[in-house]
Amino acid sequence: MKLIYAIVSHDDSSAVSSALTKAGFFATKLASTGGFLMAGNTTFMIGTEDDKVDEAIAVIAKHSRKRTQMVPSSATYGMGMYATFPVEVTVGGATIFVTNVERFEKL
Q: Where are the domains of the chain?
A: 2-100
When comparing pLDDT for 27 and 75, which is higher?
A: 27
Amino acid at 95: T
pLDDT digits 0-9 by tens, 28-76: 999 887 766 566 789 999 999 999 999 999 999 999 987 776 666 765 5
CATH value of 2-100 in 3.30.2270.10, 3.30.950.10, 3.30.70.120, 3.40.50.20: 3.30.70.120
| pTM of the complete model | 0.77
